[in-house]
Each structure stands twice: as structure tokens, then as C-alpha cells.
Structure 1
Amino acid sequence: MTKSKKMPNNIRKFPLIEQADAAEKNLFSQHQGYVIPDYINRNLRHTLRYYQDEAFRNYHYTQSHITPNLQHALFNMATGSGKTDLMAGLILYLFQEHKYQNFLFTVNTNSVLMKTKDNLVNQTSGKYLFQENIEIEGKRIHIRQVERFPRVPQNNIIYIKLSSVQKVSDDLFVLKENTMGLTDYENNPVVILADEAHHYSASTKAEKEAENTWESAINKILTARDNQEKKNILLEFTATVDFDKDTIYNKYRDKVVYRYPLNKLMDDKYSKQVKRIETSTSEEEKMLNVVLLSQFRKYLAYAEGVTGTFKPVIMFKSPKVSISLEATKVFNDLIANLNASELLTFIKRQQTLPGNESSALELAYNFYLQNEDGLAKIIREIKHDFDPRNVLNANDTSGNMLEKGQYEALNTLESPNNLYRVVFAVAKLTEGWDVLNLYDIVRIEKEAATNKNATMVEAQLIGRGARYYPFEIEGRKSYQRRYDNDLSNKQLLLETLHYHTMSEPQYLKQLIGSLKQMDLPTGQDKKNSPIEVKVKHSFKRTDTYKTGRIYYNLTEKVSDEWFDSIGKYGIDHRLEISRRLNYGSREVAYKATIENVETKTVHIEKFDHRYIKKAIQSLEFYRFDNLKLYVPLLKSMKEFIYGEKWLNALNLKLFLTVPKEYKVTNISPNELLKVTIELLKEYESKFKSGYIKERGTNNFVGYPINEYLTNYNKRIPDYDTANLLQETTQKIAAYEIDDEFYVYEKAIVNKLEYELIERIKSYVTKLKQKYNKAVYLFRMDENMHRESVKSEKLKLHQYGSRINRSGETVDVHLQGFQPDFILFLENSDVQFQIFIEPKGMSGDRFVSELWKQDLLLYITDHHAEIEFEDNISNVQIKGLKFYTKDDGQKTMVQLEEILEL
């Protein structure tokens, strides 16, 4: 048998993705104007995230712009990215747009099947993904679970059959009564939703002969209607697919619709961070350590203001059921026998063990030692929380079906009514378990394998555990990490999964290799001491440090009564809306390079208030109860849509900039709706950031440099298993800076920030000739602090009046920010303070930050309006355009012009 060849994954090409991407960028493509139908988000419990939106749009492209329409598609998306949400949306889309009513969901494990039942058909489940009432175009749509699709389907009903792939295969190849044979899949068109689809390529991989029938069965169903106009469809979903193997790549290369890898999910902050705790301690010691850490997480959550239930769960993973049962008994005995004196002895001994470098455990140890007087109460709480009734052994002798009641307990661990804190399990939970509040996974070492297959299973389990838990603070949930920049590491514990494993070099090498293969960024949880960033002694001896000041503007209070119109949020809303077709006008205006396309501006006569209403319906932010949080004076949605101070929808006119050859008649309703949605999305970010209780003034006050430029500590993120993440993000590192112009001994910055420092450095000689008293670059790091000083003062806020392109006065953006760098220059006549902000992002994220650039440029253009509290006259405050990679915006040219270099 010929062995499958390998080719590096990163050079694989996927034509459908490339074609869809090209269509998105092509101004003449009808696909670019496509907007996901509003009934999708309106009928789902969760609004689709941006990448789910992209996946959806890519699939629509295959169904509307490829002939013949794609019959077999694969979505390669990370664990925890919400593939089932996407499935639910695709069910509605295929039902409404392509008239499919029969949907077969299949997977290779019963646990996943039971979870999906809760997701797709069980309306009483907290994990049901549809709204209680599904309505499309005024019609009530019902979802009905069936064992067999009806020969004559009823109108307005979606039929879903849930089955394991084994049973589908058996029913197909072994004729039995009351089962679905091949003719059932020939009668009416069927959509197959195949989850964890990497299991269905066994014959392609030439592996287990027994599983050959799985792939064969799915293919027979897929091709059952090939001689009819309306064919069966297969949609496969998996996080794990080995495109390195030529046989797999060749099968799927022209079927992959979308890819969203795990490292991108983590980089987008939709997951927990992942750290490994590597130890050589015994199983019992490891168990006690993880209990102490888990309970510390719980105490910490409430100390940090988490509201509602916060219940961190521990999973103990064993290689065999017998070992798992044995470990459960050891654990229960350990908790039952716990007492204060022995716990103190244990903690003190652990702190002295060589190689014990976990920063998380050190935080937990210190907490218990500092609460020694209350240790008896803490132990009572531990015994209550980890009572055997709250410990679940999710194993059974069949190796397949979970015992009665166990599945429900496992799939509702986030529920306040579910008291389980510990789960003991074997490999069955590697797939299909989507618990969010799993914070610790402990590897039981007894008889555990250390080969590549074993460590890959471990890596996949870690990937599942990294799902983000959206806990509440002040009653608000976040579905992305909040604390990536936290210095103390305490808050990070609320957003970090720890994998507790053994400290054995050969095994760790294999595990790290598996984590790298998955592109899963992790690092060892070790005492990653913050680096002290010191102010140079030479700078401390200067008059600039001793008596110099840095200037920021003061703020004044703003009441809710001030937010009485859309302009008060910094939104430049005009009755004549000018947009570039399929592009935000602001984004184009700030592009470093603009496509050389001759354009014209046309009035869209068919645009009216209905587009505004429809766009609002598709955006969750504009639901009245949510909008009211940011627009407190609003009385109704009618006032928001039609009121003169708000959207004034009845009086709006739309002007679109389009290529010269473009005909107005070519502009479809979907394109107009997309333009409207994009406009309202921009407004959404401004409503959120603009609802601030303070506004800036033109009164600037000086703060002593020697109080604010101080020594500070900062950690460097440490990942040892990241592959693509390090290539696609700006890795932070520590750079020694010997040159005197930089006031700190070292700079802990990303690549773009270091590039800016080097650019400034190239001007130092010329600057010193003109500014003989001071030429210094200050890094205004967010970690700089002093107990007696509130760094919140060091923020710039917009002030003054803004004039838009129509000559109208608009209100300011109230949010403040701290530019990353200040170039400080002084001679006998003048002192310059120049704010500089590097910006590495692009697209929508770049556009959302442009108000900061507006503020910096406004300061430069309106210096005469600045009033100084101490009546000084020789200080010049300036701001530059964002500094982008390779000085894409010519920021340094602007600097030369300001300083007349």
C-alpha cells in the first residue's frame, strides 16, 4: 500500500475560499452586496459573530455564483467557534432560500448526538439555539424531530432526524423494518449535516476497514438524487482535518468553504488562554493542588465583582474506566480527610519543592496562608463544594452511552442549579462536550500513554476546554477575554484554562508537538516575573525630569440630559448620506493606497426608510432594551428611526460612489441593505464609545514628569506552542535601548512600536541641533502607575466643535485615550509635546479607532484654542496621524512639517 505523502499545510490552496474572497473584493461582483437575511439572526438565540458571518457568506457564494451549485461542502472551524450556531443558521437558510425541509444530523458518538438534540430540537433546553417562536416572512415555522422523513412533507415544517453515523450506515446496508433505506433519501431532497466529520474519511485515509461503510453510506445518500434537479446536500463540520495528507487534501480541496483555525479564535479573544502546570508530584498532591486552585478561582471571581454564579469545574482525565473509578475514590477520600493543620503543612511543603514554578498555584497558596485564621471555614466550604454528591464519574462499561442522567448533568454544568464541581472521565468527552466553565484538566498518569496519538487526543481535549466562559461583571457578560493586559495575573485566572500534567521531558516534547500541530497557543504556567522597566539615571539627572511637565486636557461632567441627539455621540449623521458602494466611506478616505478606479456619485432613488428598519431588525444592538442603555432619553424605536434628532429616516437621501461604468439599475436591494447595515454598525460603535459621563475641554494642565514617568513592571506573554499566531500577530518583546533619547532602559513593545522608536531615532541628530535643551521619547505604558497618582488623568479627550464635510457642526467623541508615545522637545524658545499613536490593525477595527486620530489632528490644527491652566505661552501641543507599518500614512513627513526640519 502506498503511504500518503505529506505537504506542509500552510501552502495548501482552497479554491472556493479564494474565489469567495476575490468576490468580496470585486466591486462588480453581485456577491459583494449580499447581506445575510435578517430572519437568520432574528430567529437565532445568538447573533452570528463576524467569522460565522463570513462562513455563511462564503457558503451563499457557492450556492449562487457557482454552476452547478456546490453539493458537498466542508467547514473547517475551531472547537468552540460555534459551528452548531452556524448549522442552525444554515438550516433556516436552506429551508427558506432553497426549499429543503429534511435535515439529517449525523455524528459518530451518542454524546454529541444528545448535545445536538438540545441545540436543535429541544425547546426546553437552555442550549436550544433557535428563538422560541421561529417566524419567516410572517409565517410560523416549526421544527419537528423525526425518525423517518415523511413522504409528503407539510408546509412550514423543518424535519430533523438525529442519528449516529453507525445507525445510518446499518439502516442503509442492513434492511430492517421501519428504518430509512436508500429510497427514503431519493423521495425528497435531504441536507446531511455531518459533525466531527473527520471521522467520515476512514476509507480515504485507508485505515479501519470497518469504518469504510460510514463514508460509503454518506456518499450513497449524497448521490441518491443525482439524476434529479434538486439534489441532496452534504455539509461537513470539523475542527480536526489532516490536510497535510495528500489523500485528505485531494478529497476536500474543492469543497472547503471556510477555515477558522484555533489560533485565530484565541487571537480574537473568543477563548480562554491556556497554560500548562507541569509537576512531578503524586496524583494525590496534584488533586489537592487543583482543588485549592479551583476554589481560589471561585473566591477571586466574587472579589473581582463577578455577579451571578461562578462555578469553576475540574476534569480528571484517565486512560481507562477502571483507573477513573479508582481515582474518584482517592479524590473523595482526600476531601473527606482534609484538615487545616495538614493543609498548611502541605502548602508550605509545596512552596519549597524544586521545580514548582506555577504562578497560579503560588497565588492560591498565598491566599490560603494569608487567611490562616479562617482556614477552618474555608475547609468546610471545600468539603461542601467537593462533596461526593458534586463529583461525577462520567464513565460506563459500554464505552458509548452515558448512564441515565449523566448526559444532562454534563451538558448543564454552567447552570446555577447544577452543583457538580468535578468530572472524572476517559476519552469519550474529547468530542461533543461544550462545557464553558471548565477551568482545570488534570491528567491521571497511571497507565497513560505518551505516544503521538495520545498527546494529540490530549491537545484536542485542551482545545475543547479553552471555550470562553462569559461570566458577568456588573450584570454584563462579555464573550471575549477582558483581562489580557492585567499585570497582577489575578484576573487572568478567570480567563485561563490550566492543564495539569507530568514533568517528563520526552512526554512534554511530544505534547508540545501535538499542541503546535493544532496551532493551539499555550505556555507553561510558571513564575513569569514581570520585568522591571527603569527610568534611566541619566534622564533622572536632567531638568526635564526634575521640573518638566506633560500636558493633558481637563474634563467636565456630562449628564444624561446632554445625550439628546445622535450628534452628541460623535456621529456625523446627515440627511444626505454619502457612501462608497460596499465600503465604509471613512475606511476608503483613510486608506494608504486607493484602487485606481474612475468613479461617479449617483443618487439612489429607490432608497427609503424601509432599508433603515430592515437593517435595524438584523442588528442585535438596536433592540430597544439594549439601545436604551446607551440612549437614556429615547422613548421609543419610532422616535429613534423617524425623529429629527435621531435617524430621521423619512428625509434621508442616499448617494453612492460607484465605478464610472456601473449602472444604477445594477444596484440590487441587497447591496443597498448592506450599505445601510454597515452604516448602522459604524453608528453602533460610536453609540457605545460615545456614552461617556465626561467630556474634554480646551483647558490643558501640566503633570510633573517625575511623578508619571516612573519605574514599572510588565510581563511578556510567553507561548511555546504557537505557530501561525506568532506570524500573524505582533509579538511583544523586550528591547534594550541604549540611546539617551529614549528615557527608559528597555522597551517592552511590539514590532510596530519598536519600528516607530527606530524611526524617531533616525531624526535625533537633526532634532538635537534645533532643540538643544531636550530631545526625548516617552513611552506612556498602561502599566505605569504609582499608588498615590491616578493615571486616569493622563488621557486626551476631544473638545471644541467639529465641522463635517457639509459645513455642519457636529458633536465630539467623549471617550478619552492615552497615546502610546510623546516626543518631548525643548529649546530656549519653545517646548514641543507631540503625541504619537502606532496602529497595526486594519479594516473595520482601524476605522473604529479613527476618532483618536481625529483628536490628535484637531489638537494640531487648533492649537490657538488651547488654554493652559498656569498661563504658559511657550508650550506647543501637537498630534500626528497614526503611525502604521513602514510609515504607510507618511506620519514622519507630517512630523518634519510641524517642526520645519
Structure 2
Amino acid sequence: MSQTLNEQIDAVAKFGMLKADIPDDITTNLASNIKLRPYQRAAIERWLFYIDKYDGRPKAPHLLFHMATGSGKTVLMATLILDLYRRGYRNFLFFVNSAQIIEKTKENFMNPASSKHLFSPTVRIDEKPVEIRAVETFDAVSNDAINIHFTTIQGLHTRIQAPKENSVSIEDFRNYKVVMISDEAHHLNAETKNTLTKGEAQDKASWESTVSEIFRQHPENMLLEFTATVDLSHEAIRKKYHDKILYDYSLKQFREEGYSKDIELRQADLPPKDRMMQAVVLSQYRRKVAEAHGLHCKPVILMKSKTIKDSAENEAAFTSMVAELTGEALDTLKKASEGDETLSRAFTFIMDTRAMSGADFALELQGDFSPEKVVNVNNPKDLESRQIELNALEEHDNEIRVIFAVDKLNEGWDVLNLFDIVRLYDTRDGKANKVGKTTMAEAQLIGRGARYFPFVAPDQPDAAREKRKYDSALDTSLRILEELHYHCSHNPKYIQDIRNALRETGMLDDSARTVKLRLKQSFKQSAFYLSEHVWVNDRVRNPRDDVMGLDSYKIENHFIYPNLMTGRITEASAFSGGELKRKRSSTEPVSRDFVVANFSKSILGTAMDANEFFHYTNLRNYFPKLASVSEFISSDLYLGGATVSVRGLPEDLDNLTARQKLSIVQYTLNQIETGIKRESVEYVGTKEFKPKKISECFIDKTLKLRMEGETGLSWVKGESNVPDLDQIDLTTKDWYAYDDCYGTDQEKHFIRHLNDHADRLLGLYDDFHLLRNDKAVKLFSFESGQAFEPDFILFLRRTEWESESVMQLFIEPKGLHLAEQEKWKQEFLKQVNYEAKMHVIFQGRDYRILGLPFFNNAAPWINEFSECLESIVGTKESE
């Protein structure tokens, strides 16, 4: 079989041909809290390439975005709607299988007050305001607006088959080109399958065939499908989507790149009531950990039952359990949890660290888990009416803590603060090591709940708020906010089933390994560890003291405005071979330069007032020496020096209207704004380095490592595949601070390289110590403030003439596949050598800090590193 569309685009991507700037009409019109993630940008780049450059593109494209649950498919829909409006589309049909998803999507698309609203308060495309409207029909809609018809596919089918007045009809799709957007699109494949279940047979007449009929009504219609779970193992479906999958971003990729919670399976040989109680304690632990770090997080528990009747009974049992809770019961549970590391840690934090008595803890739980904060969603009508509330569980005024459900939340539920799922039944449908349908649905629910809860880590302010931060520090208390606990009974066969299902969906990381990275006891007791310091810099807000005007942001002062409308009208006779006849004007368009500041003050003021970026308080952030808005308008350093080239008919250019002048100024300001945002740097790294105690920064850690190549393989246990490592007994090397090494191949090559030169170093220095830097300390780029954690820090200490000197070297082993894209790190390490400032004499010791080029054991990298290290180490007589 020939390459799929996705494989063709992948091949192009390898050559860097997809890289493109996302149009401003997309980026500036999304809600301010939306920052496109790298994989979302990749999807948009593929879309732009397909629409603009792909030779095989049909006039009426049918495409599928196969993207992981929680990856932000709705955000991608919003970007495509904005781009398609630029391309002349005005009418959009959004359809899905479930009514509850419709309500949620309407809220996201149409309600500016919603925290999950997708668009900026004012959408402007081609410098014109664009309204977003929900419509019942495309007949007589505004041609200047984005018109969206929201519907279920079942409801759409009914209206098409039995049309009513003022509702969408098949004629709408004949008379207007429409973009059809299908969410949870795997439901559209009932007709494609050769064998159907009873439910799929009922769907056949209404779903896939109806969509196909609508799609065929206009030659420029588009059909864009979005789903995380299309069944590509089915031959007919795989064939159908052979040339339609534009982007395939799997749940496995999503998890590996850090955008999901980690899944922890908690199996307990306990009745359902006790499992519910454990989940309540862990949920409250999460809330208290968040509060202790200044974060707002209201964790939610999903109690999942097998039947509606069971769900109601479990809810009643839960309500009774909470109402009757006592301090004595919690004290007993605390004592019983001593063999459960996670639960024990929760009780220790709440009742010991936070000094809360069992009685007070019981009262708190009775308040936080009272009946009004518990909901049951098994009634479809209740679910539909509460859909907005259930999709706003993260809001400060939303107090829901527990949800009882059977299967009503398996699709279309966007929740970030679900941390516990409690399975309140003990059946399984797996057979002969094959995953059953129910178990797979449970795994998919886990995947939905594993959406990451975004937060800014107090100890990592520069880390992405939407990605995991503590894979390399599992002992950190905030790690509990990066885990989803799935509570189930102790049933080894079911555990195997659910693990297989999670493995199939991509949510189970088979390659993960948890290891203890321990400092050697001898090192912990050494004077060096107890009294020495590591020198690091800090990150501060960029003062922009050297900014003197637009030129400081590399903005040229000449702009080219898109053509004015010429007003030319042409006609072509049907029998003249296409010969054009001109009317109104025979004058050819010309270009003319205008000084922007020469336009009237009212036009300049109106343009700047309409754009918050050019309000004085904001401009001062980027131009600290700017005295006033008047100076920005008149000074040659700013807007006063800007000219804009406008192309149009001479008579139009001689008589620009106020509206045209305003449009020209707005365009120029937008170009300036884009340039400033592109070049501006919010933070810089200080050049002054300050000391921190080594014993406070470098401690024992529990790490979760993905087994890739050498990473995660023990040196000491002989697991490594790097040649000759077994000849070095790392446990006896006093200069190596740890009891093992689980690093990459280049890290291990570097340690071996250092071991080969150990005798020479000990001949020049009293002692030396190598420390692995696993999030112990950070450096910050002088120019951009970007954080950097060098893999190793080498300390060289010696005493001469009654004075002690300590040299601190930052070292970064690097695979060649990463060397180019992380080149800035090597440049920064070089800058440290001549720009870092510090108290050279500190506590009677002479300190120096230096950076080395990347280490790689291949030539010529190894030669450059060795030469640089040799020049630094020198001889005993050199300084």
C-alpha cells in the first residue's frame, strides 16, 4: 500500500519544510490564556502546508486530526476556524454524538465569561472586527461573521429528513460552502465497518450516511474530523483514513512529553466503603499540599459503579460514612496505613506536620464532603443540565468534590482536577489475555482523568505550568498533584487486564523505572559536603536599561501595507476567449510612502487607544526611557521615524479616507507589536553568582526515569551496555559522590573519562568531587533568563601557601542529536568564564567558577573538551 497522508507529511517534516510562522490572525485572536503548545503548532503547520502547498489536495478536503485525549483538540478547532475565515469561509457546522458535549462546546466557543472561552474578547481579522454567532440556519446569515451551527448528528439527521421552518436543511449545504467539524469522530464509522453491533446498525442510517450526503452538496465543503480513538486496527476504517489523517499525535507521545498526570494503580484488599475513605483522605491531602505552596486546587473524586442502582447505593453509603466519621476512626486508619507509603505520607503531613487532630480532621472532611458537594450524574437530564458545572470543576466557586457515575462521563468531559477514580465493583471481562470492552472503557476514562492540572511550581517558576515537573523528584510533596490514583480491589487478573488496556491506550509507561539516587554516606559526612558551597546565579525581570527605541527590538522603520482596493471592475465575454474589459479606471496601481506620524492626531490616538499594547503604562514596560505617548508618536526613535509603503491607484492614494488611514496606522502598530513581542525578553540571568550550601542543595532523591538507551541502567549492578564500565568500581571512587549512576551513555562516558584522569587531578589538587545535578541547582542565561541545569558540577580543591582555593566547573555531556538545538547552553557556559561575577574571596577561600564545552566521546568533541579542561586544570604552579 502507498504511503498514508500522515507518512507523506512526516517525510516532508524531516527536512524542515513544514516550519512556518502561525498567522497573526490566529495567534492574536485566541484567548489570552491560550499559548499554543509545540504539538498544536505542529498540527497547524501541517494544516497550512496541506492547504497551501500539498499538490494532491482535493478541492473539498476531508481530514482527520487523530489526537490524544486532553491534547486540546477544541483549541485546534478554534485556530482552524480563524484561518478558514481568512480563506473566505463563513459557515461552520459543529456536530457530535452527545448533547452534553454540545453544551460544553457552546460554552467554550460562545461565552466570553467562561474560563475556557477560546477566543479573545474582540476578534479582528484583516483589521476588521468579526462577530462569532451561533445560528439555527445558514440562510440570510451575516457574511462578515463566523456563523456556527451546533448540533448532535442525530438531531441533524432528523432535521435533514424532516425539515422544519427556521431550521437547517439540505439546501443550506447546496447554497453555501460549509466547514463541517466533527468532534469524537470515531462515531462516524458505523457504515464503514463490515460487521456492526446492534447499536451501530441503528446509527448507520443516521450518522455516516448523513454526513457524507451533506459533504457532497457543495464542491468547496470541508469535513474536519477530530478524535482520540479511531479504530485503525479495523481494516476498512484504516483504508478509509489512508489519505485523510493529517496529524497523528498519540496518547503515548502526550504522556511522554509530560502533558498528562502519571497513573498510579492502588489495589487494596478492602471493601468499597474503605476504598472510598482512602480516596477522601488522599484528596484532602492534595488540597492541603497545594494550599501549603500557595496554590488553589480543589481535587475531585470519581466514584464509578457498575449499575445505576449500585451507584445510588454507594452514594448513600458514602453520605452515611462521612456523616458518622470520627476522630477515633481516622486515628485507627492512620495507624493501619503504616505499610502504605502514599497514605501514610498523607496522614503524616495532615496530622503531624500540620498538627491537626483526628477530631478536627473528621470535622473538616464532613464539611468538605457534605452532601451538597456530592453529585450523581446517572440521570441523562440531570447530566445535561449540569454539564457546564461539571466542565468548570476547577473554578474557585465550584465546590463539587465527589461525582458518582456509571458511564455518563466517558466522553466530552474536560476536567483537569480529577485525581482519584474509585472502582466500586470487582468484575472483569478480559479473556485469554485479551482486553474486554468494559476494561478498555475504564482505561479510556483513566486517560480522560489523566489530563494534567496546570500550576506554577514555587521552586520552578520558569517551568511550563502545563507539564509535569517532578519526574526527577518523586519525593517532593507537590508530586501528588501530578498523579492520578485509580483505586480498585486486590484482583491480580483484573490488574493485569487494566494494565494491558492502559498499555494499549498509551497511558502506561512500560519503560519507566523508579530508582534511588543516594549520596555516599562517606561523602555526606565529609567536611566538604557539610561546609562547602556551590555558586549559582539568579533570574530577574529584564530592566531593559539599554532599550532606546524600536531599533533595540530589531524593528526596521519601513513597512509595506497590503494593497488598497483598486475599485477596478473587469468583464469577460463568454465567447471572446476570456479577453478582459476594464471599467472605471485604466490607471495602473503604484506604490507611495507615507510618514505615519503625519496622519492626524485623532487617527493616531484612535488607533493607539484601541490597542492596549500601546497604552502608556504598557509601553513603559518595553521602553523604560519613554516619557509620554506623544514622544512615542513624534520621536524618530519610535513611531515618528516609521514610514509605510501603500500600493493603490494614484487617485485613491491622493485622497485616502479617514478609515483607510486608520487601517494603515493599525496595520503598522500591529507589525510593531509583533516585532517587539518576538524580540523582547522578560527575564535575564544575573551575572553575579552567589553561594548556596552544598548540603542543602544536594540530597538523596527518588527518580522516575524512562528507559531509553543507557538512561535508567545501573552502572554498579552491571546493567550498562557502555564497554569497559565494569572495570571501574564506582562505589570505591571517593571523588564520585553517589552510590550509582543511571545516566545517559555520554554521562557514563564522561565519568569514565574523568576516572582515566583521576590520578593526574589528585597530583594537582588535594581532592576533587563530582556531583550529579538532578534539579539541585539551576543557572539562568544572561541574555534570556532561560533556565539551565548542567548535568555535573566538578569541584577541585587545593591548599597553597596557607590559602585554600576551590574551582567549580559546570559540565554538560551531550548526545550529538541534541548538540545543535541546545547550542545556546554551550554558548552560555563559555560566557560564564568571562562574565560571571562573584566574591572571589569567601570565608577565607579563593573561588573560581568556569564552564566547559559540551562533552561527547566522539571526535572532534572529545578533543575540544580535553583541551579546555587541560587549560583550566593546568599544573600545580599555574593559577
Aligned match of 1:853: 826
Q: Deviations over 1:53-105 (max 9, x none)?
A: 221221122211134346101111111111111111211221221x2222111
Structure 1 distance, partners of 2:341, 2:28, is 46
Matches within 5 A, 1:388-399: 388-396=371-379
Kept in 1: contact 2:59–2:220 (CA 8 A): no
Instruction: Report the CA distance shift for 1:138/1:516 in structure 2 as closer, same or farther (over 3 A).
Output: same
Instruction: Report the CA distance shift for 1:337/1:456 in structure 2 as closer, same or farther (over 3 A).
Output: same
Structure 1 distance, partners of 2:354, 2:250, is 43
Corresponding position: 1:40 with 2:60: no
Q: Secondary structure at the match of 1:881?
A: coil
Q: Give the superposition deviation at 1:761.
A: 1.4
Corresponding position: 1:493 with 2:486: no
Aligned match of 2:852: 880
Aligned residue among 527, 538, 546 for 1:565: 546
Paired letter, 1:223: R
Aligned match of 2:72: 82
Kept in 2: contact 1:696–1:814 (CA 8 A): no
Kept in 1: contact 2:746–2:813 (CA 8 A): no
Aligned match of 1:758: 749
Kept in 2: contact 1:771–1:827 (CA 8 A): no
Instruction: Report the CA distance shift for 1:503/1:730 in structure 2 as closer, same or farther (over 3 A).
Output: farther
Matches within 5 A, 1:435-446: 435-445=415-425
Instruction: Report the CA distance shift for 1:332/1:86 in structure 2 as closer, same or farther (over 3 A).
Output: same
Matches within 5 A, 1:209-248: 209-213=201-205, 214-225=207-218, 230-248=219-237
Paired letter, 2:239: N
Aligned match of 1:689: 683
Kept in 2: contact 1:738–1:745 (CA 8 A): no
Paired letter, 1:893: E
Q: Deviations over 1:641-682 (max 9, x none)?
A: 998999998599xxxxxxxxxxxxxxxxxxx99999998676
Q: Deviations over 1:120-173 (max 9, x none)?
A: 2344544332233323234332222233321x4432122222221222234445
Paired letter, 1:757: K
Q: Give the superposition deviation at 1:48.
A: 2.6
Aligned match of 2:770: 778
Kept in 2: contact 1:95–1:158 (CA 8 A): yes
Aligned match of 2:311: 324
Matches within 5 A, 1:422-437: 422-437=402-417
**Percentage identity across aligned positions?**
30
Matches within 5 A, 1:52-91: 52-66=40-54, 67-69=57-59, 71-91=61-81
Unaligned runs of 5+ in 1: 1-6, 578-604, 653-671, 719-724, 785-791, 799-810
Q: Give the superposition deviation at 1:428.
A: 1.7
How many aligned positions are there?
770
Q: Secondary structure at the match of 2:187?
A: helix
Aligned match of 2:89: 100
Q: Give the superposition deviation at 1:278.
A: 1.6
Matches within 5 A, 1:444-523: 444-445=424-425, 449=429, 451-471=435-455, 478-521=465-508
Structure 2 distance, partners of 1:385, 1:482, is 28
Q: Give the superposition deviation at 1:287.
A: 0.8
Q: Secondary structure at the match of 2:703?
A: coil
Kept in 2: contact 1:194–1:234 (CA 8 A): yes
Corresponding position: 1:367 with 2:357: no
Instruction: Report the CA distance shift for 1:381/1:281 in structure 2 as closer, same or farther (over 3 A).
Output: same
Paired letter, 1:508: I
Aligned match of 1:415: 395
Instruction: Report the CA distance shift for 1:854/1:301 in structure 2 as closer, same or farther (over 3 A).
Output: same
Corresponding position: 1:835 with 2:842: no
Unaligned runs of 5+ in 2: 558-590, 597-603, 645-667, 717-727, 875-879
Corresponding position: 1:133 with 2:114: no
Q: Secondary structure at the match of 1:76?
A: strand
Aligned residue among 189, 198, 207 for 1:201: 189
Matches within 5 A, 1:292-311: 292-306=281-295, 309-311=296-298
Instruction: Report the CA distance shift for 1:634/1:401 in structure 2 as closer, same or farther (over 3 A).
Output: farther
Instruction: Report the CA distance shift for 1:467/1:831 in structure 2 as closer, same or farther (over 3 A).
Output: closer
Instruction: Report the CA distance shift for 1:69/1:57 in structure 2 as closer, same or farther (over 3 A).
Output: farther
Q: Secondary structure at the match of 1:359?
A: helix
Q: Secondary structure at the match of 1:347?
A: helix
Q: Give the superposition deviation at 1:220.
A: 1.6
Q: Give the superposition deviation at 1:717.
A: 1.1
Aligned match of 2:582: none
Q: Give the superposition deviation at 1:766.
A: 5.2
TM-score normalised by structure 2 residue count: 0.75
Structure 1 distance, partners of 2:748, 2:481, is 35
Kept in 2: contact 1:716–1:733 (CA 8 A): no
Q: Give the superposition deviation at 1:511.
A: 0.7
Paired letter, 2:27: N
Structure 1 distance, partners of 2:250, 2:541, is 45
Q: Give the superposition deviation at 1:767.
A: 5.7
Kept in 1: contact 2:337–2:343 (CA 8 A): no
Corresponding position: 1:259 with 2:243: no
Aligned match of 2:131: 142
Q: Give the superposition deviation at 1:297.
A: 1.5
Aligned match of 2:301: 314
Structure 1 distance, partners of 2:42, 2:213, is 30
Aligned residue among 532, 540, 560 for 2:518: 532
Structure 2 distance, partners of 1:222, 1:887, is 57
Bigger CA radius of gyration? 2
Structure 1 distance, partners of 2:465, 2:416, is 13
Aligned match of 2:321: 334
Structure 2 distance, partners of 1:738, 1:567, is 59
Structure 2 distance, partners of 1:546, 1:296, is 34
Matches within 5 A, 1:693-842: 694-696=686-688, 712-717=699-704, 731-736=711-716, 738-739=729-730, 740=733, 743-751=736-744, 754-762=745-753, 764-765=755-756, 768-769=759-760, 772-773=763-764, 776=768, 778-782=770-774, 819-823=790-794, 833-839=808-814
Paired letter, 1:52: Q
Aligned match of 1:896: 867
Kept in 2: contact 1:190–1:233 (CA 8 A): yes
Structure 1 distance, partners of 2:169, 2:9, is 37
Q: Give the superposition deviation at 1:415.
A: 2.2
Kept in 2: contact 1:412–1:418 (CA 8 A): yes
Q: Give the superposition deviation at 1:683.
A: 3.7
Q: Deviations over 1:803-842 (max 9, x none)?
A: xxxxxxxx86677866332345689999865421235697
Structure 2 distance, partners of 1:620, 1:256, is 40
Paired letter, 2:729: D
Structure 2 distance, partners of 1:72, 1:267, is 30
Structure 2 distance, partners of 1:641, 1:103, is 41
Q: Secondary structure at the match of 2:85?
A: helix
Aligned match of 1:590: none
Paired letter, 1:363: A
Structure 2 distance, partners of 1:879, 1:35, is 35
Q: Give the superposition deviation at 1:416.
A: 2.2
Instruction: Report the CA distance shift for 1:154/1:390 in structure 2 as closer, same or farther (over 3 A).
Output: same
Q: Give the superposition deviation at 1:51.
A: 2.0
Kept in 2: contact 1:194–1:237 (CA 8 A): yes
Kept in 1: contact 2:315–2:404 (CA 8 A): yes
Q: Secondary structure at the match of 2:320?
A: helix
TM-score normalised by structure 1 residue count: 0.73
Instruction: Report the CA distance shift for 1:523/1:17 in structure 2 as closer, same or farther (over 3 A).
Output: closer
